[in-house]
Amino acid sequence: MSSVDQNQTLMTQDGVPLKVSLKRSQRRSKMRAFMLVFPLLAFIFISFIVPIGSLFTRSVDDTLVNEVLPLTFEELKNWDGQDVPGEPMFAAMFMDLKNADKIQIGRVSTRMNYEKSGWKSLLKKTSRKMKNIDGPPYKEQMLKIHKRWGKVEFWQSLTAMKDPYTLGYYLNSVDLKYGYNKSIEQQPEKRQVYNLLWKRTLLVSLLVTVFCLLLGYPVAHLLATLPLSKSNLLMICVLIPFWTSLLVRIVSWMVMLQQEGVVNDTLVAFGLPEEWRLPMMYNFTGTLIVMTQILLPFMILPIYSVMKTIPPSYMRAAQNLGATPTLAFLRVYMPQTLPGIGAGSILVFIVAIGYYITPELVGGKDGRLIGNFIAFHMQNTLNWGLAAAMGVILLAGILILYWLYDKIVGIDNMKMG
C-alpha cells in the first residue's frame, strides 16, 4: 500500500493535483459571487473611490500655472528674489501671456490671486493692453501698463507656485501660507479664520456626542428593558423624528427657539423679564441644541442593540454577589455596553464633524462649522482647491479617529445594530 509522502503533492484519483482540482471546482461559484457583487463594486468605485481620489488630487494640484507660464517659471530659477527682476523675466512673462488664451489667463489669475491678492487685476489689465506692446524691451512698457509689475512682492509670490504640486491649500485651511520660496508663515491676523473654525467644529462635535450620550443612554436602557408593548411605543417615538424631513425638524426648532418662539414665550409667561429672552437661535447654542436632537437616534440605536443582548441576570448576579445597584451598573452593566457607546459616539461624532445644513440654517455667525465653509468655497468663491483640502483634512481626521478607536476598543467590538 502506498503511504502519502509528506512533500509529495496530493493527487485526485485520475492524477490531477488536488489543489488544481479544488480551484477548478470552486471557480464557477467564485465567478458567480463576483458577478453578483460587481454592480455594487462598480458603483462604489465610480461614486466613491474616484471622487475621493479627485478630491485629493485637486487639493494638491498646481499644474495649471506651470503649464500656462512655462517660460516665466524657467526664468524664475535664475532670479535671486531680492529686487524687481530684469528684462529677461519680463520678456518671459510677456511671451507666456501672449501665447495663452483669455480663458486660461482668467483661471491662472484666479489661482495666482490666492497667493497674493492683486494678481487678478494685474493680469487682466496687462493682457488687455498687451497689443500696445510691439517689441522689446518689455520691462518698461509693462511697468507702464501696471505699476504692480514693479513691486517685488508679486514676483516673490510666484515662487510659491513653482512646483506642479502645492500644499498651499492645506496651509490656507489652517491659517498658514507660503512665503518666499515656499517658506511657511502665518496668515496675517485679519485673515485668520480657519483655526477658530476647526476648533469650533471639534468642540461642537464633541459636545453633541456627549449630550447625545447623556440623553440617549437612559432612553436606550428603557427601550431594552421595558415590556414589548411599551418599548415599541418608545421606539416609534425615537424613530418618528428620524423619519421626518430634516428641514421640517430644523424649521420646527426655529419656531421653538427663536426670540419670540415657544420656549422664550413660555419662560416669559412664567415670569422671565421680557428683556431677558434667551438667545437660542442663530448662534452656537442653536447649532448645539438642534444637532443634538437630530443626531440622537444615531446614538440610541447602537446602544440599544447592544443592551438588548445583555440578559438581566448579569445585574442580578452582581447584586447577589453584594454589589449595590449603582456599583453593579458601573462595574457590570456599563462595561458591557461599551461597544454600543463606542459605535454610537463614533457615528455621531463623524456625522457631526461634517455637518452642514443645520449650522447653515440655525448657526448664524458663530454657529457655523467647517462644513459650511467647504460649501462656501465650492459655491461662492469657487476655490475648489481649498474646499478639497479641507475635505481631505476632515476625512483624515475621521480616519485617525477610527484608527484610534480600533487601537483602544477594537473595531470588532463595534456593534452598529
Partner 1 sequence: MGSSGPFVRYENVQKSYDGETLVVKNLNLDIAKGEFVTMLGPSGSGKTTCLMMLAGFETATHGDIMLDGKPINNIPPHKRGIGMVFQNYALFPHMTVNENLAFPLSVRKMGKADTEEKVRRALDMVQMGQFGDRRPGQLSGGQQQRVALARALVFEPELVLMDEPLGALDKQLREHMQYEIKHIHESLGVTVVYVTHDQSEALTMSNRIAVFDDGIIQQLADPVTLYEKPENSFVAQFIGENNKLSGTVGAISKGVTTVDLGKHGSIKAAAVNVSKGDKTTVSLRPERIEFSSKKPAASKPSLPAKVLELIYLGDHIRCRLDVAGNDEFIVKVPNSSLSADLKPGVKGHVSWKTEDCRALDFVG
Cβ atoms < 10 Å from Cβ of 231? 16
Among 328, 343, 361, 386, binds partner 1 (CB under 8 A): 328
Reduce the DSSP state of residue 311 to 3 states and report it.
coil
Nearer residue to partner 1 within complex by CB, 245 or 313:
313
**Is 48 among the residues that bind partner 1 (CB under 8 A)?**
no
Query: Which of 104, 157, 154, 171 lies closest to 386 in space, CA to CA?
Result: 171
Q: Is-contact 386 173, C-beta < 8 A? A: yes
How many helices (H) and strands (E) the chain has is answered by 21, 2
Residues in contact with partner 1, shown as a per-residue x/- string from 329 to 348 under the rule CB under 8 A: --xx--xx-x----------
**Is 251 among the residues that bind partner 1 (CB under 8 A)?**
no
Size of the site for partner 1 (CB under 8 A): 20
Among 45, 48, 314, 403, binds partner 1 (CB under 8 A): 314
Nearer residue to partner 1 within complex by CB, 46 or 330:
330
Nearer residue to partner 1 within complex by CB, 188 or 322:
322
* 271 φψ region: left (φ > 0), alpha (ψ -120 to 50), beta (else): left
Cell numbers at 232, concatenated:
415599541
Nearer residue to partner 1 within complex by CB, 184 or 327:
327
The nearest distance, CB 46 to partner 1, in angstroms, is: 42
Span near partner 1 by CB under 8 A; candidates 189-197, 222-230, 288-296, 307-315: 307-315
- Asked if omega into 302 is within 30° of 0 (cis), the reply is no
Task: Please give the Cα distance from 51 to 49 (Å, whole number).
Answer: 6
Nearer residue to partner 1 within complex by CB, 19 or 316:
316
The nearest distance, CB 417 to partner 1, in angstroms, is: 20
The pair phi, psi for residue 394, each rounded to 5°, is -60, -50
Residues in contact with partner 1, shown as a per-residue x/- string from 261 to 300 under the rule CB under 8 A: ----------------------------------------
Q: Tell me the three-class secondary structure of 324-350, residue by residue.
A: CHHHHHHHHHHHHHHHHHHHHHHHHHH
Span near partner 1 by CB under 8 A; candidates 24-32, 78-86, 232-240, 319-327: 319-327
Reduce the DSSP state of residue 219 to 3 states and report it.
helix
* Contact residues for 285 (Cβ-Cβ < 8 A; gap 6+): 279, 367
Nearer residue to partner 1 within complex by CB, 191 or 331:
331
**Is 50 among the residues that bind partner 1 (CB under 8 A)?**
no
**Is 230 among the residues that bind partner 1 (CB under 8 A)?**
no
Task: Please give the Cα distance from 191 to 170 (Å, whole number).
Answer: 15
**Is 317 among the residues that bind partner 1 (CB under 8 A)?**
yes
Span near partner 1 by CB under 8 A; candidates 71-79, 108-116, 309-317, 389-397: 309-317
Task: Please give the Cα distance from 80 to 366 (Å, whole number).
Answer: 45
The nearest distance, CB 209 to partner 1, in angstroms, is: 23
The residue type found at 158 is L
Query: Which of 354, 93, 361 lies closest to 246 in space, CA to CA?
Result: 361
Residue reference for cell 415670569: 271
Query: Which of 284, 329, 283 lies closest to 310 in space, CA to CA?
Result: 329
Task: Please give the Cα distance from 5 to 8 (Å, whole number).
Answer: 5
Chain positions 87 to 116 lying near partner 1, rule: CB under 8 A, are none
**Is 325 among the residues that bind partner 1 (CB under 8 A)?**
yes
Nearer residue to partner 1 within complex by CB, 136 or 325:
325
Residues in contact with partner 1, shown as a per-residue x/- string from 53 to 82 under the rule CB under 8 A: ------------------------------
Among 39, 135, 271, 311, binds partner 1 (CB under 8 A): 311
Among 84, 143, 235, 323, binds partner 1 (CB under 8 A): 323
**Is 313 among the residues that bind partner 1 (CB under 8 A)?**
yes
Nearer residue to partner 1 within complex by CB, 281 or 332:
332
Reduce the DSSP state of residue 17 to 3 states and report it.
strand
Nearer residue to partner 1 within complex by CB, 15 or 322:
322
**Cα 116–chain centre separation:** 26
- Residues within the interface to partner 1 (CB under 8 A): 311, 313-314, 316-325, 327-328, 331-332, 335-336, 338
